[in-house]
Structure formats: structure tokens, C-alpha cells
Structure 1
Amino acid sequence: MNISAMIKLTVSMAIFGSIGFFTVHTGIPALELVFIRCICATLFLGMLWLLTGGHKTEQWSKKEVVRTLICGIFIVLNWVFLFKAFEEMSISIAISIYNLAPIFVLILGTIFLKERLTLRNVLAIIICFLGSILIIGIEQFTSFKDLYQSGFVWAILSAIFYALTVFTSKTIHHLSAYALTFTQTFVGIILLAPFSDFTVFEGLTMSNWLYIMGTGFIHTGFVYYLFFDSVRLLPTIIVSVLVFVDPVVAILLDMLLLDFMPTTMQTVGIILVFTGIIYTIYTPKQKIKTIT
């Protein structure tokens, strides 16, 4: 086992778990925050890409470039919707719904890749669906407007677009992780620049700017560097386990620093969502053999 890679991935997930806390202290809307994040990440990862000499050995192809550009649009929308969810609901609730993404990846694989949907998968989807209903407290909403204003729609959209990002990235095999991410964040700059309101940056405090730079250079640039430098050196099962460090840290910070306390039903919902996801990911090998 590569201990160094495990440590890097654990650190990256723990840092990323604090992004919600940073986001609510930036003092700027979601779209403008993602715009700045894309600029910081492009500069940071572009510099590493050049320093490592990776730009000299890239294998570019028209098909993969097009897929990377599409993937870039998906990941930018994923970020915008996630940060919009943070604006409307607690970090813990938003993160719990956001982590439904693996279920959406499963559904996309079934629809587009004709992958077999097993009884185990169906049960996991049902468990996650019930958990998400308990998390948002569906009984509180009497109209779609109430549901929309709760942030639930933004959180679901962020999960869907994250799933689309993962699904699309699976079709990109030759570009390095640096080239892939640099291209995606550069797309974000071009995509969001015309829609960004630059007046929101006026009157920000030093504290606001520190949190903004943190989401850009630390949560995007540095975290992506650690993630891509480690994930390819570890077995899928280890990666799947360590990824859960992210939501655990996010929920703990929300409770400890932002005084969030989930209701009993929300707690049950959070447990159901993560149970369903784990149930999906950790299919015993012997079970896989009998199904296929």
C-alpha cells in the first residue's frame, strides 16, 4: 500500500470538507466565487503543469479535447449549483444531498452504457431517495417555490452535474490530470466572465479576500494537486473509503463552527443516504461474480 498517496488523498479530502465553511465567509455570490476559483486553479495547476514538463508530453486528440470542454462545462455548473445550495441551506444538508452523485453515476451508466442494474443497486437508490426526503423535510413544503427556495434543487443539480463530470471524464484516457483540470477551469473563466458581476468585489474585507483566495488556491489548486497526485496510485476501494473524509469533515465543521444541529429525521436521512452510497460502492466480490 502506498502510504504517502493515502496521506495525500486523506489530506485533500479533509481540506475539501471545509469548502462550505469558507464559502459562507467569502461575502460574494456563488457564480462570482466559482469565477475566481477557476482563475486561481488555472494559474496554480497551469504553473505545476509547466514546471513538471507535462505540457511537452501531452497526447492531444480532437475527440478528447471536445469531451474535456464538455466536462469543463459540467464541473463549472456543478460548483455554481453547490455554492448556491450553501447559500440557501446548511452545509451538512447540502453536502449530504450532493453526495448522492454516485447514485446518479450508476443511473447514467445504466441508461447510456447499458450497464446492468442489480437488485442491490435498486435498493441503494431507494434508500438514498428516502434519506433525501427525510433530510429536506418534505412535509414543510407546500409548493415547488418552497422547495426551490430551500436550496434542495441547487443541491440536487450539483450532484447531477458532478455525476455528469465523472461520467464524461471516464471517456478521457490520454490527457494527463493536469491538462484535463487546467482545460476545465480555463473553460470556467470563459464561461462565467460575461455573467459575473464585478461590483460584488467592492467593499470586501481582508477576511473576505482570504476566504476567497482559500477556495481558489487551497480548495481547488492545492487539493486538485494532492488528489491527482495520489488517486492513480491507490486501489479503487481505498479511494472510495477516503473520499468519505470530505462529507464527514464538512458536517463536523458545520456543527462545531456554524452551530448547525440536525433534527432526528435529518440525522436518520443523512445516515440513510451514506448507507445507500456505501451499499452501492462496496459490493462483495463474490456477489459480483454471481450477478455477472
Structure 2
Amino acid sequence: MWIFYALLSALFAALTAIFAKIGVTQINSNLATAIRTIIVLFLIWSIVLVKGELKEIANISKQNILFLILSGIGTGLSWIFYFKALQLGNVSQVAAIDKLSVAITIILSIIFLKEALTVKTAIGAGLIILGTLVLTMK
């Protein structure tokens, strides 16, 4: 079932790139990111409230909070730089470079989470890096 959700994530990430490229045309990229963030905030809190998941907030540990804050900062910075890059570059190249995050995540998961590096994972990360280089070459 996780593959289904991952594919939906990829589809909506692709649509996000296209919509964002059009949306940042002739406006400040930080303002565009702020508008997008308000929409995301409204959407996810609506889901949490409708599904009755707010009661689970009491179960959140200090470690959960710390790492969710750090993740939120990372997301915010990623969005700020992504929107600025979209404003200045071609969406196909910006999106390709952005997807280097997959290869970087693999490396960081090995270092910090002690995940095993398999041959399959190493080849996949290498192909992502190679693909990014091909797509961004002039």
C-alpha cells in the first residue's frame, strides 16, 4: 500500500512543480511560498480535525517535537529555495536537481539512521545522480 501513496506523492509533486512555476511568474518567490504554505497549513489541519486526530497530540514526546521542528525548518528552507529556483530556471531542470534529495537522503540515512546500503540502492542513487547531470547539462 505504501507504493500507492508514494506514487500519489510523486504525481502531486510533479503537479506542484508545474503549478508553482506558473504561480511564481512576476511575483516575489517568498510571497508565493508564503501563500502556498497557508494552503498546506489549512489543508492538513482540516484533515486532522475532520479525522479526529487532534487528540493524539498528547502522545507527542519532546524528541518528536524537536525533530518535527527541525523537519519543518528543512521543509520551509527547501520550499523557499525551490520557488526561487523555479522562478529563475526551467522547471524540468529545477525538478531534476530537487530530486537529488533522494540520493542525498540515501547517504544521510546510511550515516544517521544506520540503514544498510545495498547494491540496488547504490545503483539507484547513482542513476539519479547521473540522470540529474544529464538533464542539467547545457
TM-score with structure 1 setting the length: 0.40
Q: How large is the Cα RMSD of the aligned pairs? A: 2.8
Larger CA deviation: 18-27 vs 101-110: 18-27
Structure 1 residues 61, 97: closer, same or farther in 2, change over 3 A? same
1:17 corresponds in structure 2 to 14
Aligned residue type for 1:30: S
Gaps of 5+ in 1: 141-292
1:97 corresponds in structure 2 to 97
Identity %: 25
Pair 1:51 & 2:33 matched: no
Distance 2:37 2:99 in 1: 22
Distance 2:129 2:9 in 1: 28
2:84 corresponds in structure 1 to 84
Cα offsets for 1:62-108 (capped at 9, x unmatched): 11111111110011111112212212221112212222222111100
Contact 2:103/2:129 (<8 A) preserved = no
Cα offsets for 1:162-204 (capped at 9, x unmatched): xxxxxxxxxxxxxxxxxxxxxxxxxxxxxxxxxxxxxxxxxxx
TM-score with structure 2 setting the length: 0.76
Distance 1:123 1:57 in 2: 40
2:135 corresponds in structure 1 to 135
Aligned length: 135
Distance 1:19 1:119 in 2: 32
More helix by share: 2
Q: Which stretches of structure 1, 4 residues or longer, exceed 4 Å deviation after superposition? A: 8-13
Distance 1:82 1:21 in 2: 12
Distance 1:62 1:125 in 2: 33
Distance 2:67 2:122 in 1: 29
Cα displacement (A) at 1:115? 3.1
Distance 1:106 1:43 in 2: 31
Which structure would you say has the larger Rg? 1
